[in-house]
């Protein structure tokens, strides 16, 4: 039987649901924002977060920015699998940060920083050091925050990236039809790829302009994905099979 604890803040409810094996964070009933297998909290459980790690086929990040924390699954996975990585996570809701530490084993360390702030405001100011990857997963009780699809936001994310950096953004299936969003991406990124997951999340993986187009042959990508799958605890290869290159 599920054990559910209910919390609230100025933005609404937060539910922490424990069924014995898994712990889930939800922002509303019949919602699931983050999920952790308690025996292996560093193994990503959702298809879309797994697909977001396809970026590891193209770079070995030493410094990343996470916009949107949730239960902290991406932060936990990156910290576990990449020794010495520096991670800055930005989360609007103080209650979400507290819950991530209290219930979802969010790691602590001198290379890990969690900032309570509106992500769209945070990226307006360049960080002291540019990052290899910006992960974007801004989500509220009604779904994906459309703010992350705006031209100014994409431009602000691009300015946080190194010359060979990557943007990884979680959207929904309907965002595939947003031509203005795609046009904006093409202003800043030369290598744009996407994955439509079985859960109807649409994950964008985009290499910044000034970066030469990634020309690794499919055979190399498949081999790298197989090697990473063994380390990550899930099949990255099945997400690679769905990846589409836009340019």
Residues 48-74 have pLDDT tens digits of 999 999 999 999 999 999 999 999 999
Distances (CA, A) of 117 to 46, 49, 68, 72, 237: 25, 22, 10, 16, 35
pLDDT higher than threshold 70 for residue 212: no
Question: pLDDT-derived band of residue 210, with 50, 70 and 90 as boundaries?
Answer: low
Element (H, E) at 18: strand 12-18
Residues 102-128 have pLDDT tens digits of 999 999 999 999 999 999 999 999 999
Residues 152-161 have pLDDT tens digits of 999 999 999 9
Q: How far apart are CA 97 and CA 101, in angstroms?
A: 6
pLDDT higher than threshold 90 for residue 241: yes
Question: pLDDT-derived band of residue 215, with 50, 70 and 90 as boundaries?
Answer: confident
pLDDT higher than threshold 60 for residue 164: yes
> Which residues does 34 contact at the CB level (< 8 Å), separation at least 6?
24, 25, 46, 70, 71, 72, 73, 104
Using a cut of 0.85, tell me whether the model's pTM lies above it: yes
Question: What's the mean pLDDT when you consider all of the chain?
Answer: 94
Question: pLDDT-derived band of residue 32, with 50, 70 and 90 as boundaries?
Answer: confident
Q: How far apart are CA 243 and CA 216, in angstroms?
A: 14
* pLDDT for the residue 144: 75
Q: How far apart are CA 161 and CA 81, in angstroms?
A: 21
Q: How far apart are CA 169 and CA 27, in angstroms?
A: 20
Residue, of 180 and 212, whose pLDDT is higher: 180
CA atoms within 13 A on the CB side of 186: 9
Question: pLDDT-derived band of residue 47, with 50, 70 and 90 as boundaries?
Answer: very high
């Amino acid at each position: 039987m599920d054990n559910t604890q209910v919390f609230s803040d100025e933005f609404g409810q937060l539910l922490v649901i424990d069924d014995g094996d898994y712990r889930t964070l939800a922002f509303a009933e019949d919602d699931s924002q983050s999920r952790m297998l308690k025996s292996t909290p560093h193994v990503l459980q959702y298809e879309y977060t797994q697909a977001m790690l396809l970026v590891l086929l193209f770079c070995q990040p030493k410094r990343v920015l996470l916009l949107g924390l949730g239960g902290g699954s991406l932060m936990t996975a990156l910290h576990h699998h990449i020794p010495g990585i520096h991670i800055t996570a930005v989360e609007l809701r103080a209650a979400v940060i507290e819950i991530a530490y209290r219930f979802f084993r969010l790691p602590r360390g001198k290379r890990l920083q969690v900032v309570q702030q509106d992500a769209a405001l945070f990226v307006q100011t360049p960080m002291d050091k540019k990052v290899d990857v910006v992960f974007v997963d801004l989500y509220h009780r009604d779904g994906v925050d459309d703010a992350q699809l705006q031209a100014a936001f994409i431009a602000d994310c691009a300015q946080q990236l190194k010359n060979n950096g990557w943007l990884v953004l979680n959207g929904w299936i309907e965002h595939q039809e947003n031509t203005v969003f795609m046009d904006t991406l093409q202003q800043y990124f030369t290598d744009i790829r996407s994955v439509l997951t079985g859960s109807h999340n649409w994950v964008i993986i985009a290499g910044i302009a000034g970066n030469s187009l990634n020309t690794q042959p499919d055979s190399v990508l498949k081999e790298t994905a197989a090697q990473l799958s063994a380390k990550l605890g899930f099949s990255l290869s099945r997400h690679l099979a769905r990846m589409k290159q836009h340019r």
